[in-house]
């Protein structure tokens, strides 16, 4: 009878238990909502009285790299390298963190304007690579200001950096200084890569070559001239906030393709100033699918540099003519690099460029008696050989390209040359080296004594040993063992030579990002990619230990051990009904409180944001202004 009685009363007890559970859940939900509202109100009260401001402004000072202050008698390449490495390691979401195509123009005695092509924004570090919090852009400007304690750096973009950190949602896609902002699609935006430039009066005139958006090979489309007011750049570099925006005035030059076909002539690869005359060097690819660039030349009074109708073009035989269709190659058989300079030294003119071989560690100089050549490639001089360059595992598959003279950094006794370094290595999962370190895509510098450009050729022993005449550099250390390059064929899906795989590479854990006050962490953007312009044809290399099938299987097993979909109550506890019910009640109460907190905090913050947005203002529409919020 007792057993029968207990059986009859069990259905009556079940509804009572359900009512108690629902009551506890409701109570937990109310407690959570009250606590969440209290938290948000407490935060609002604590910030009451602070003046409102647009999210695009910041009170944080620019990044200052110490130890490089004061004027120096002669340029120090190692100090230049250390400055840019230090800036990258301390970069924020609005700061330059790495890039190529470097060239400098002096604004005044204490300021330099540095122009870059493909650019990473921070944060970044030697062991975390590039975070991509603000995306990836195809050109930027960095203003360096010398101070008593070192150098202050301010990066200028076309806007949009740090937007992902200011509550706008989506990704932070910074726009380039020249060109349209990223489209967000799988097809990259058009590229405007910087070339040479000079200062004339209160304006910096800078050339940018336009390449159509799409995939490799990038199609050249023409040249634009950008005019930057010196006063605006100088003012932006002395601002008290980090990061800035500038949009220069642009002039699009008429395009012309020689009758033999190929690409249009791209102007501005190098500018040579001789008195009041500016010589503008251009390049043209006879075949888009094959390497090789033909050298062209134009000249114009410096004061009329932006007036294309005043240009006169080298027509061969030492003659000049109006009209771009009159232009003829400077000399047959000359192969120009993607980035080069023509300078006057030792009573001659020198074409300085990286070796045009697919992979070469050399920077060479070729003499001529006039700016229009012919340059004597049989009398070339080896200025520098970088021992860290080579397409093998011992050299991390590093490549050297775009060597340029830097008159703004040079002296009467030494010529400073900048150049770019990158790596062709990728993992078996198509992840580039930039995902692991920022030490690759940093500018490098070398100082060449002017005596190297004296009369006569170098003796054979001196030509074979450039370190006797060129100052050696302190290069970044090698990569960690886990990120070393490995020999192997290109993995399926990786494009040989050019690996444009930014949106497929892993994001570094936020806990590994450099600690900076108030910084949140997200990533977005496009990875730096070696492209046809840089003539990197070597096959993509694999790095062992990243993306292998064994690692994926191990990760899968580890994930299964911590499967988040397992039951909240372990099966063996079902045998004890009372224990299961007690723990179930506790779990339901905790869940209800957490849900209440989330609803209260989220709802209150949403209402506050909606109400405050009606009183917010927009940033200035001037061509240069500071922005960013950490």
Q: What is the pLDDT of residues 15-65, one digit of tens each?
A: 777 777 777 778 777 777 787 777 766 655 544 443 333 333 344 678 888
Q: Residue 328: its pLDDT value, please? A: 96
- Residue 396 pLDDT more than 60? yes
The four Cα atoms 549, 552, 557, 560 give a dihedral, to 10 degrees, of: -140
Model confidence over 410-421: pLDDT tens digits? Answer: 999 999 999 999
Domain-embedded: residue 625: no
* 131 found inside a domain: no
Selection from 404, 406, 409 nearest residue 269 by Cα: 404
Q: Which positions ≥6 away from 530 have C-beta within 8 Å?
A: 399, 422, 424, 497, 498, 499, 536
**CATH at 350:** 2.115.10
CB 532 within 8 A of CB 191: no
Q: What is the pLDDT of residues 338-383, one digit of tens each?
A: 899 999 998 899 999 998 876 789 999 999 999 999 999 999 999 9
Is 5 a domain residue? no
* Angle of the 2-47 helix axis to the 577-613 helix axis, nearest 10: 30
Asked whether residue 523 is domain-assigned, the answer is no
pLDDT band at 317 (very low <50, low <70, confident <90, very high): very high
Cis peptide before 489 (omega within 30 of 0): no
DSSP state of 149: S
- Total domains, the chain: 1
What span, in angstroms and rounded, lies between the C-alpha atoms of 454 and 469?
12
Q: Is residue 591 part of a domain?
A: no
In a domain, 610, yes or no: no
Q: What are phi and psi of 428, to 5 degrees?
A: -65, -15
Assigned domain for 192 exists: yes
Dist CA 470 CA 482 (whole Å): 34
pLDDT for 114 equals 98
Examine the pLDDT at 512 and tell me if it is beyond 80.
Answer: no
pTM: 0.68
Closest to 269 measured CA to CA, from 229, 310, 298, 246: 298
Range of the domain at 218: 184-228+241-483
């Amino acid at each position: 009878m007792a057993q029968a009685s207990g059986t009859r009363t069990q259905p009556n007890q079940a509804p009572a238990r359900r009512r108690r559970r629902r009551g506890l859940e409701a109570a937990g939900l109310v407690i959570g909502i009250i606590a969440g509202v209290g938290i948000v109100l407490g935060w609002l009260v604590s910030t009451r009285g602070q003046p409102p401001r647009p999210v695009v402004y910041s009170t944080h000072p620019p990044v200052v790299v110490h130890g490089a202050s004061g004027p120096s008698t002669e340029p120090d390449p190692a100090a230049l390298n250390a400055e840019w490495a230090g800036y990258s390691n301390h970069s924020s979401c609005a700061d330059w963190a790495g890039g190529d195509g470097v060239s400098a123009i002096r604004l005044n005695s204490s300021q330099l304007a540095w122009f870059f092509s493909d650019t990473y924004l921070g944060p970044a570090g030697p062991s975390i690579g590039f975070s991509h919090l603000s995306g990836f852009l195809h050109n930027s400007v960095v203003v360096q200001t010398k101070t008593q304690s070192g150098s202050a750096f301010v990066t200028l973009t076309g806007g949009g950096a740090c937007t992902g950190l200011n509550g706008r949602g989506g990704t932070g896609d910074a726009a380039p200084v020249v060109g349209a902002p990223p489209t967000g699609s799988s097809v990259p935006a058009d590229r405007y890569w910087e070339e040479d430039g000079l200062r004339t009066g209160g304006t910096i005139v800078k050339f940018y070559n336009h390449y159509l958006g799409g995939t490799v090979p990038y199609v050249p489309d023409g040249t634009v001239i950008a005019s930057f007011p010196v006063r605006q750049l100088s003012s932006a570099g002395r601002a008290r906030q980090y990061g800035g925006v500038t949009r220069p005035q642009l002039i699009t030059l008429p395009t012309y393709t020689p009758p033999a076909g190929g690409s249009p002539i791209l102007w501005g690869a190098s500018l040579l100033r001789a008195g009041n005359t500016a010589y503008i060097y251009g390049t043209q690819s006879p075949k888009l699918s094959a390497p090789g660039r033909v050298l062209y030349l134009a000249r114009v009074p410096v004061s009329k540099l932006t007036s294309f109708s005043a240009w006169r073009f080298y027509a061969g035989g030492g003659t000049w003519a109006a009209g771009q269709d009159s232009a003829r190659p400077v000399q047959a058989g000359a192969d120009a690099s993607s980035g080069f300079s023509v300078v006057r030294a030792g009573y001659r003119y020198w074409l300085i460029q990286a070796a045009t071989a697919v992979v070469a560690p050399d920077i060479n100089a070729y003499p001529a008696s006039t700016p229009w050549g012919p340059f004597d490639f049989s009398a070339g001089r080896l200025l520098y050989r970088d021992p860290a360059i080579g397409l093998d595992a011992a050299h991390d598959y590093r490549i050297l390209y775009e060597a340029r003279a830097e008159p703004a950094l040079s002296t009467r006794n030494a010529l400073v040359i900048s150049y770019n370094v990158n790596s062709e290595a990728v993992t078996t999962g198509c992840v580039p080296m930039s995902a692991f370190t920022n030490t690759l895509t940093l500018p490098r510098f070398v100082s060449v004594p002017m005596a190297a450009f004296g009369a006569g050729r170098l003796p054979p022993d001196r030509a074979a040993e450039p370190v006797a005449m060129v100052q050696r550099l302190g290069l970044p250390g090698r990569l960690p063992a886990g990120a070393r390059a490995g020999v192997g064929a290109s993995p399926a899906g990786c494009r040989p030579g050019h690996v444009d795989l930014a949106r497929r590479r892993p994001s570094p854990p936020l806990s590994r990002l450099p600690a900076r006050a108030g910084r949140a962490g997200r990533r977005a953007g496009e990875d730096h990619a070696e492209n046809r312009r840089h003539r990197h044809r070597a096959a993509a290399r694999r790095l062992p230990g990243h993306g292998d099938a064994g690692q994926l299987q191990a990760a899968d097993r580890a994930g299964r051990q911590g499967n988040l979909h397992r039951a909240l109550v372990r099966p063996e506890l079902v045998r004890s009904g009372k224990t299961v019910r007690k723990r179930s009640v506790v779990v339901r109460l905790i869940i209800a409180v957490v849900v209440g907190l989330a609803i209260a905090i989220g709802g209150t913050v949403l209402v506050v944001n909606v109400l405050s947005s009606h009183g917010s203002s927009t940033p200035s529409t001037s061509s240069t202004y500071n922005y960013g919020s950490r």
